[in-house]
Structure 1
Amino acid sequence: MIPVLIPRPRVVEEQGGDLFLLRRETRIVTRRPKLGEYLAGLLRPATGFALPVTAGERSEGDIVLAGGGAAGDASEAYALSADAAAVTITAEHDAGLFAGIQTLRQLLPAEIERDTVQDAAWAVPAVTVEDAPRFSYRGVMLDIARHFFDADQIIRLIDQLAAVKINHLHLHLTDDQGWRLEIPGWPELTRSGAASAVGGGPGGFLTTADFERVVRHAASRFVTIVPEVDMPGHTNAAIVAYPELAPEGYAIAPFTGMDVGFSSLSIEAEVTYRFIDEVVGHIASLTPGPYVHLGGDESFATKDEDFCRFIERATAIIAAHGKTPIGWHEIGLCRGLPAGTIGQYWSYRVPQDDAGERARSIVEQGGSLILSPADAVYLDIKPEAGYPLGLEWTGAPTPLAQVVDWDPATLVPDVGEEHILGIEAPVWTETIETSADLEAMVFPRVLGVADMAWADAATDVPRRVAALLPRLDAAGIRFGPA
């Protein structure tokens, strides 16, 4: 019997032969030693087996990671076959082998996720899998500005997300409550600007070395870091650090509340654009991924004309540093966006106000969309009424069944799937302070996001997620309600 797999592969066929048994003698045979050691590191703790990694000839009982073509033309396409003689994962690209490894994990008993030796029969069903993702961008956003999360906490989340084939982590690095990344030449950002949080906590920040460590670890898990510096609104912490960035008459004081839309950078002052250029330049130098996110949401304190002058100049700065700009869908108000700019849609499953129009405008200018409908995939919204964590500004809780109750291909009227880059689930942290809080809000609902973003159709998700809860428990994930 094939266990539940999330995300669901494109093709899974049970074969009639005997099971593959992972044994003490099993080796991992591959010419990709880093991937081989990664797989061995996943399997050794619970099995207690040595699982040597070798580039030698394969033999019966081995796990083989091989190069070669696989189903689909995506970089993450892979094929997996298991029978009594061997498990073989084949992919043209290393990202595909990594994806196949995650499927192999779920084909093994849930106890494989534990970090101490377990008494279990390590059987893999006789099966063939051919797989490739629906969307190339499958993301989660972590807000480390409202409450700070350090490099170790971010790395733990990366490992958890990569296990279900999430391949982008969007880090919301700045907001009214705190500035969370060291920027050379602007020391007050991480002195006064980082010293606050929602509720008056101590705040904190990532050093350049911290951020580089996060980026390196993410790359080892085939996860792209998407850094965001929100502007021109959500900038109170930057203004506290450098009052010259404020428009005339702005009341400068640290902010520890949860209101939005009151702050703005000065649109007129040239120091604003020198600041943006130096911040973006530093972040771009640290980030191998193609994107820099400039926010652009909830800029209620900025007139539309000024907002567009700012957005057009800021996106041009990002492009000049060799990165593709991403902005929340409000940037679609502006008509001078660089070609290829990406909009992140965050309205509801039924677009409200002018959200659909703004999103279409970005596509009409040669861009594409990341979809984050707030009443479906905002994982900071309570999963059920009365839950102690989370918010309800969408009007109701978001249980797992609602996470997948929409169609990416029809969400934004007159925008077809060919213009959809992927799906991202934001996690805002006004009420989330610890890794335990974070895991309870992200899991298990993110499994629905992962399934929807990878599979051609997300079906029977609540039942399938329930079947994976013992695996989350074995992995030490402190999940919340579905």
Structure 2
Amino acid sequence: MRRHHRTTPRISRLLGSLLLVAAAGAFTVGSAPAPAPAPDPAPAPLGRVVPAPASVEPGTSPYRVTGGTGIRVDDSREVRRIGAYLADVLRPSTGYPLPVTSHGQGGIRLRLAKGPFGAEGYRLESGRKGVTITAAEPAGLFHGVQTLRQLLPAAVEKDSVQPGPWLVAGGTIEDSPRYAYRGAMLDVSRHFFTVAQVERYIDELALYKVNKLHLHLSDDQGWRIAIDSWPRLATYGGSTQVDGGKGGYYTKADYKEIVRYAASRYLEVVPEIDMPGHTNAALASYAGLNCDGVAPPLYTGTDVGFSSLCVGKDITYDFVDDVVRELAAITPGRSLHIGGDEAHSTSHADYVKFMDRVQPIVAKYGKTVIGWHQLTGATPAQGALAQYWGLDDTSEAEKAQVAKAAQNGTGLILSPADRMYLDMKYTADTPLGQDWAGLVDVKRSYDWDPGAYLPGAPASAVRGVEAPLWTETIQSSADIEYMAFPRLAGAAELGWSPAATHDWDAYKVRLAAQGPRWDALGIGYYRSPQVPWPAR
């Protein structure tokens, strides 16, 4: 009978050790050491954001967003909603779960607390253990979240999983806006834009802390909001646009959705019904609004100044009352814009008479008047804001008229056309836009001070700035983005950042860093040669 030999435990351990040594030798003798892991790329510098923060104190230790990061929020509906918004931004690119919770430690924390933040300011503190954003109001938290987005790599904006790492520079940002009014205007009358297109623009505005969306809802070429008491305004007056085409209009439900979406991004919608000029769409819809009782044809051109409501007819003010009443009822914001520019077919006396009757109607329905700066040629209502769109070479008399109104208490929104109009061409070769106000390159659009711009107007009268985008040549979201970016970012900085931070050479470096972010977001922008964009 054969016997099987049995290895003792001691011999087994010895054989195992010899085998390990041999194996190790096979891999080490004559071979190079294993390479060290690549170091993490440096996080974006704490202050390299747009708009420039009021105060930046760099720290030493960055925070790393990982699969274990949570988003901690105060136990309130509004803060939870902001936390969910942040999670929705970060999850697709990081692939991390990023639970939103009111419990735990570390991670990203959003908190409300008393402090010197004002209605929209915030403090962002970043270190090895986490990032905390503190504000007195939810709007401040939301603006702090936009800063956090810019501190993360641009790839965080993509909608598919990216490799990371996701580092946030350490340190503290203390931030609050220079002006309470930081606006952008979208003309939906010359060309109509859908709810989805407007909401896309709202998201882009929110990234740069813009807080007003001025919608130009009526003009010669189209009426874009349903008015129940005057239904043909929308169904007929809204049936075309520049160069023809089907036009379109917003139902009240559509408009309420835009208002709701804007509010979720902390933007207030400012609706505009332009009058007494720029009214051909209304005049074509209702013959009685014309002095001769004859409705003109619909208009699809781009000339201005040829139309006017009939100032002497009572039906005109019934019309204004109904439109303002219905629009005010679905507009939670404080302001209603009544236009008032380029009323070349209205005599000065009639213009003054019209504004004297219309401004009290706006007040009757609980809204504050905003008008283009020609309103100062009449008597602006108490609390009214005048939106200045003149040029550097506008007549001294016109500038003095606006300055005098400002001295007498009328607040100013500054939108000089040769600085802030986003529809002006960048160069003579720009395929879109106009050039009646000159060519407006990126440096020119940024390099001016709203507080000292209008001679004779006290700096305290300036309520803020607004970047209008007129759409005679703009037909798509791609067109909007090409003309708005990169100039919109500069307009936002003029409205938000302290005057002391204003410096073109520093700004263009921060602006250049936005290019990869816009690429990740699918924003097709103008790559101005004035800006040192990184190579793609």
TM-score interval w.r.t. the shorter chain?
over 0.9
The 1:263–1:368 alpha-carbon spacing in structure 2 relative to 1, beyond 3 Å, is same
Gaps of 5+ in 2: 1-43, 529-536
Residue 369, structure 1, aligned to residue 415, structure 2:
no
Partner of 1:112: 156
- The CA distance in 2 between the partners of 1:68 and 1:310, in whole Å, is 47
Question: Out of 459, 462, 471, which is 1:417 matched to?
Answer: 459
Q: CA deviation at 1:350?
A: 4.8
Q: So what's the TM-score if we normalise by structure 2?
A: 0.87
Contact 2:389 2:417 in 1 (8 A): yes
Partner of 1:63: 108
Q: CA deviation at 1:440?
A: 0.5
Once the two structures are aligned, what percentage of the paired residues are identical? 45
Q: CA deviation at 1:365?
A: 4.2
Contact 2:407 2:458 in 1 (8 A): no
Contact 2:222 2:238 in 1 (8 A): yes
Residue 11, structure 1, aligned to residue 55, structure 2:
yes
Partner of 2:38: none
Q: CA deviation at 1:249?
A: 7.4
Cα deviation code 1:100-138 (max 9, x no counterpart) = 000000010000111111111011011210000001111
Structure with bigger gyration radius:
2
What is the one-letter code of the residue matched to 2:441? P
Partner of 2:478: 436
Contact 2:400 2:456 in 1 (8 A): no
Question: Out of 397, 403, 412, which is 2:439 matched to?
Answer: 397
Partner of 2:531: none
Question: Mapping of 1:17-36 within 5 angstroms?
Answer: 18-31=61-74, 32-36=79-83
Partner of 2:358: 314
What is the one-letter code of the residue matched to 1:398? V
Question: Out of 83, 101, 104, which is 2:145 matched to?
Answer: 101
Contact 2:288 2:294 in 1 (8 A): no
- The CA distance in 2 between the partners of 1:42 and 1:332, in whole Å, is 44
Q: Return 420-429 or 450-459, whichever deviates more.
A: 450-459
- The CA distance in 1 between the partners of 2:401 and 2:326, in whole Å, is 30
Partner of 2:510: 464
Contact 1:235 1:264 in 2 (8 A): yes
What is the one-letter code of the residue matched to 1:347? G
Partner of 2:343: 299
Q: So what's the TM-score if we normalise by structure 1?
A: 0.96
Q: CA deviation at 1:20?
A: 0.5
Cα deviation code 1:254-292 (max 9, x no counterpart) = 111110000000001111111111111111111111000
Contact 1:332 1:360 in 2 (8 A): no
Partner of 1:141: 185
Contact 1:439 1:478 in 2 (8 A): yes
- The CA distance in 2 between the partners of 1:79 and 1:199, in whole Å, is 49
Partner of 2:19: none
Cα deviation code 1:29-86 (max 9, x no counterpart) = 1112111111111111111111111112x413x10001113444x2111000000101
Question: Mapping of 1:259-274 within 5 angstroms?
Answer: 259-274=303-318
The 1:402–1:42 alpha-carbon spacing in structure 2 relative to 1, beyond 3 Å, is same
Residue 131, structure 1, aligned to residue 175, structure 2:
yes
Contact 1:329 1:355 in 2 (8 A): no
Task: Please identify runs of 4+ aligned residues in structure 1 that moved more than 3 A.
Answer: 69-72
Partner of 2:12: none
- The CA distance in 2 between the partners of 1:330 and 1:365, in whole Å, is 16
Partner of 1:186: 230
Contact 1:344 1:372 in 2 (8 A): yes
Q: Tell me, what secondary structure is at the counterpart of 2:309? A: coil
Contact 1:400 1:462 in 2 (8 A): no
Q: CA deviation at 1:362?
A: 3.1
Q: CA deviation at 1:357?
A: 2.5
- The CA distance in 1 between the partners of 2:491 and 2:151, in whole Å, is 20
Question: Mapping of 1:83-102 within 5 angstroms?
Answer: 83-102=127-146
Partner of 1:340: 383
What is the one-letter code of the residue matched to 2:469? V
Residue 46, structure 1, aligned to residue 88, structure 2:
no
What is the one-letter code of the residue matched to 2:64? L
The 1:186–1:356 alpha-carbon spacing in structure 2 relative to 1, beyond 3 Å, is same
Q: Tell me, what secondary structure is at the counterpart of 2:178? A: coil
What is the one-letter code of the residue matched to 1:153? Q
Question: Out of 245, 253, 261, which is 1:217 matched to?
Answer: 261
